[in-house]
Amino acid sequence: MNAPFAPTRISPLFDEQAPHAAKWTQVETMQSVAAYGSADAARVPLAGIGDLSFRRRAGVKGPGAAAWLNALGIATPERPNSYLRLDDGTLVLRMGNTEFLVEDVAGGSRAATMLATAPSAGVYPVPRYDAALVITGRNAIELTRQTCAFDFASLSPSAQALVMTSMVGVGVTAIALDGADGTYFRLWCDGTYGGYLWATLVEVAADLGGGAVGLDALGRVAQQ
Amino acid sequence: MKLMTCPMNGTRPISEFAYWGEIRPAPDADTCTDEQWADYVFNRNGAPGVKKEWWCHTPSNTWFIAERDTEKDKVLRTYLHGEDK
């Protein structure tokens, strides 16, 4: 592997990824794996496990959270357990009745705006230290069947449903998104469990022709 | 597979839930006797029957109430606190 940078942010998956990484990059000041090897591109259409932890995110909860976000120009989903993808690619996740997670795309500033704005009455910031994963490929459903009791086939991108469930024993938030190459899944979990979740999913994905993929091979999925 | 229905997240395997015991209103610590307080702290009702219990859907940390027949281990209904109608 090439020499690591001196990053100001480190992915929660770093310790698991470092022995396998072939090429590093720095996105949003987080050292991230650009490539694991020449097999990355072939893994993406089968069962690719990518790390999007570099994306900036912020959370709020409380009875005033939706109105506070709206005042910042961030639209919120109307239904509990659903999400919105804004025009600039920002994901707004509504988890339960009054809790929200906002995740920027690379270069976005909505999370920074939230963190810099004083919460009003009934708004409580939720620190986020998530490991953020993406599962791509036509075998992604099979991978979820082996690792989770929830049926991911029921997660339709058009319904914009969000599910909080348990995957290999780790509590995860999951959504399905439409990409240029088909549906893919996003997962968020507590960062301290991220390494275990990532390593386990990569091991299962390897049986399905996939495995870990770097940001270079993810291409637009990483940028959307 | 045993299933439980979370009022927010729907029906899921029981492995996604944690059981936190029967709802037991505490006696007023300022006015109750020592015996009443000791009974509240140390004793639990083990008699089978329909009980209201605290459950938590752990991936979402959703706390809710389940009315469960502990004799038949059958969940009669579940709802969020304050939504008992």
- Could you report the predicted ipTM of this complex, rounded to two decimals? 0.83
In angstroms, the CA A143 to CA A50 distance is: 14
Among candidates B1, B9, B13 on the partner chain, residue whose Cβ is nearest the Cβ of A81: B9
Q: Examine residue B40 and state whether it is found in any structural domain, yes or no.
A: no
Average pLDDT over residues A17-41: 95
Compute CA distances A14 → A30, A147, A189, A199, whole Å. 10, 22, 15, 11
CA B47 to mean position of chain CA atoms: 15
Structural domain for B3, as ranges: 1-23+48-85
CB contact under 8 A, B9 and A164: yes
Q: Examine residue B77 and state whether it is found in any structural domain, yes or no.
A: yes
Q: Examine residue B1 and state whether it is found in any structural domain, yes or no.
A: yes
In Å, how far is A100's CA from the nearest CA of chain B? 12
- The domain total for chain B is 1
Extents of the domains making up chain A:
9-54+129-223, 57-126
Does residue A72 contact residue A118 with C-beta atoms inside 8 Å?
A: no
Q: Examine residue B83 and state whether it is found in any structural domain, yes or no.
A: yes
The pLDDT of residue A2? 58
CB contact under 8 A, A172 and B62: no
The pLDDT of residue A5? 54
According to CATH, what is the number of the domain A9-54+129-223?
A: 3.30.1360.120
Quote the DSSP letter at residue A106: T
pLDDT tens, position by position, A136-150: 999 999 999 999 999
Q: Examine residue B9 and state whether it is found in any structural domain, yes or no.
A: yes
CB contact under 8 A, B9 and A95: no
Query: Is the CB of B62 inside 8 Å of chain A's CB atoms?
Result: yes
Residues with Cβ within 8 Å of A137's Cβ and at least 6 positions away in sequence, in order, are: A43, A44, A45, A46, A47, A48, A184, A208, A210
Show the tokens assigned to A40: 């990355």
CB contact under 8 A, B8 and A172: no
CATH of region A57-126, choose from 2.40.160, 3.30.160, 3.30.70, 1.10.3470: 3.30.70
Q: Examine residue B71 and state whether it is found in any structural domain, yes or no.
A: yes
